[in-house]
Structure formats: C-alpha cells, structure tokens
Amino acid sequence: MSNYFKKLLIATIAIFAINAQSAELKVGYVQVDKILQEAPQTAESGKKLEREFSPRSQELERMSKQIKDLEAALDKDGLTISEAERRNKERDVQNIKIEFQRKQRELREDINLRKNEELGALQDRVNKAVQTVSEAEGYDLVVYSGVAYASKKIDITDKVLKVLGKK
C-alpha cells in the first residue's frame, strides 16, 4: 500500500473517530437464539409441520409394524413352509423394507425442506420486528448474536419479542 493511501486511511479513521465521539451512537443487540426459542411463531411452525407430516409418519409406523409382523411370522413358520414359499416371503419382506427406507428418506428430506422454509419465514418476521423496534426507538445500529459481549442495557430482544407477540 502506498504512503498516500496509508495517510488517507489514517485520516479517514481519525475523522470517523471524531464524528463518532461527537455524535451519540445508539446501538442495540438482539439475542437470536432467545427469539427462536420464545417467539410464538416458532411453536406455531412446529405444530404446522407436525400436522403436515403426521399422515406420512403414521404410514411409516404402520409399515414398520408390518415388517416386524412379517419377520416374526417368517421366523415362526420358517421350518414348516416350503423353501420356495420361505424365499418368496423373505423377498416380500425385503421389498417392503426397501420401500420403507425410501419413504423414510423422502420424509426426512421433505421435513428438512419445510423446516428451512419455515425458518426463512421466521427470519423475515424477526428482521421486520427488529427494524420496527430500531426505527421506532431511533437505533443507529443493531447487531445479532455472534457478538463477543453485549451489555444488558443495549439488549432489545424483549422488545422484538413483544413486536412478535410474545410478551
């Protein structure tokens, strides 16, 4: 870096420092983890996902029981049935297991997609609530979690939760 740019950078930092000292800067801090735990939208989202995927979960439970029942019957009748019949039943059980695993994997993937969609919607609502509080109370800067230290006096998390409908 040339001397000119170094001097320009130092002068800019000095001017910024002088302006920052002369103007009162209002800073706020938001605990995202607390909001994600306490916001009413989080619980609503969980219930919504549970309702949405409940029929598929129940189907998987039925399939699991069917597999166990077929395996138990095969163990019980294994010695009394013909070799061909035993192989057919084992093949049927294996096919149901494969179908079960496929449906289980698809359900997990679909749940993860929907969770991400719901989380994105919640993040948008949280951002709007933070912006509402920040503008209403004249904050110049609001930071989220990931800060090494934040004083309780600049923590506006409860105000954001209030806007989200919690308190």
Express each pLDDT in 69-83 by its tens digit. 999 988 888 778 888
% pLDDT > 90, the chain: 44
129 to each of 35, 36, 40, 116, how far by Cα in Å? Answer: 11, 13, 13, 20
Q: Residue 35 burial by CB count (10 A; 0-12/13-18/19+): exposed, middle or buried?
A: buried
Structure tokens at 91: 């093949």
Cα distance between residue 118 and residue 48, in whole Å: 10
Q: How many CB atoms lie within 10 A of CB 96?
A: 16
DSSP letter at 28 equals E
Structure token pair of residue 126: 């949280």
Which tens digits make up the pLDDT trace of 152-165?
Answer: 888 888 888 898 88
Dihedral sign of CA atoms 66, 68, 69, 70 in order: positive
pLDDT of residue 42: 85
Q: What domains can you pick out in the chain, each with its CATH number?
A: 24-164 (3.30.910.20)
- pLDDT surpassing 80 at residue 7: no
Confidence of residue 37 (pLDDT cuts 50, 70, 90): confident
pLDDT at 23: 64
pLDDT for 19 equals 54
| Least confident range of 19-23, 56-60, 128-132, 138-142 | 19-23
